[in-house]
Structure 1
Amino acid sequence: MDRIFTVEEARALMPVLLERAAAFVAMRGELAELAYELRSTGTSPAGGLAEAKAYEARLEEILGWFEERGIEVKGVAPLLVDFPSVLDGVRVRLCWLEGDRELVWYHRDELGFAGRRPLP
């Protein structure tokens, strides 16, 4: 069964979530540049295939941190995560999007991102 977060529980995770997200975004950018250079010129000052695989492994490790805690990763570019929750008896997802500094959005399960609203 999915973990159900209260708003307070989810918000308590935000400081470490922001740290993990920042690490993910930086690593994602490094991997994108490295992959582009390897595709376009065959070489990169950042390394080669081994370095690319190391970046990929680190990205997977960071994503695993979210999943181990019951936080759902919905997208990686931009990074989008949901915390399963219940508000006023309705199943919702507390929604955090890369660039947000706080957890202030939610959407009903069946509506997804398009139904995103500010938390009451």
Structure 2
Amino acid sequence: MITKRYTLAEANALLPEVKQNLEQLQELSHKLEEHYIHYRKVKAGHTELSGELLFEMEGQMDFMQFELQLYMQNFARRGVLIKMINPGLIDFPGVMDGEEILLCWREGEDRITHYHGWHDGFAGRKLHPDA
């Protein structure tokens, strides 16, 4: 359940921190993906000697997944919705003219200038009148 509602100004003020957290999340996600690919290669060539290595790699992946969940929970605690990690697509719940909206930011944009309805998605983005 979403309890936090952002104004455009509040969401834009939080954006630098969100961008930094997203970069860290992206980096961790990339490392986990690379680690998993390496793990699959080691597992495909599995020998008795690689058993310990596989066990260690599985533990590292478990830890990375736990870290990833913590980052996601940090966004959720602020009421910020991550729609995509790569490229970054983030929504901030808000209200405009009495209607529930999502202030929408896409990686590469300097600030939040668009919004869409809860069921419209990215394709339904509209320029925010205060942007």
TMscore range, shorter length: 0.7 to 0.9
Contact 2:101 2:115 in 1 (8 A): yes
Other-structure match for 2:42: 41
What is the rounded CA distance, in whole Å, between the counterparts of 1:33 and 1:118 in structure 2? 38
Change beyond 3 A, Cα 1:60–1:99: farther
Partner SS, residue 111 of structure 2: coil
Task: Calculate the TM-score normalised by the size of structure 1.
Answer: 0.84
Q: 1:106 aligns with which of 115, 121, 131?
A: 115
CA RMSD between the two structures? 2.1
> How many equivalent residue pairs?
118
Change beyond 3 A, Cα 1:105–1:19: same
> Offset at 1:67?
0.4
Q: Does 1:64 align with 2:73?
A: yes
Task: Calculate the TM-score normalised by the size of structure 2.
Answer: 0.77
Map 1:71-90; keep pairs closer than 5 Å. 71-90=80-99
What is the rounded CA distance, in whole Å, between the counterparts of 2:98 and 2:67 in structure 1? 38
Q: Encode CA deviations 1:17-58: one digit per residue, 9 max, x unaligned.
A: 1110000000000000000111123379xx611211121111
| Structure showing the higher helix proportion among its residues | 2
Partner SS, residue 49 of structure 1: helix
Partner SS, residue 13 of structure 1: helix
Partner SS, residue 85 of structure 1: strand
Q: Encode CA deviations 1:85-115: one digit per residue, 9 max, x unaligned.
A: 1223332101123343422221122311110
Deviates more, 1:21-30 or 1:89-98: 89-98
What is the rounded CA distance, in whole Å, between the counterparts of 2:30 and 2:83 in structure 1? 18
What is the rounded CA distance, in whole Å, between the counterparts of 1:70 and 1:61 in structure 2? 14
What is the rounded CA distance, in whole Å, between the counterparts of 2:27 and 2:113 in structure 1? 24
Amino acid at match of 1:28: S
Structure 1: runs of 5 or more not aligned: none
Amino acid at match of 2:17: V
> Offset at 1:77?
3.9
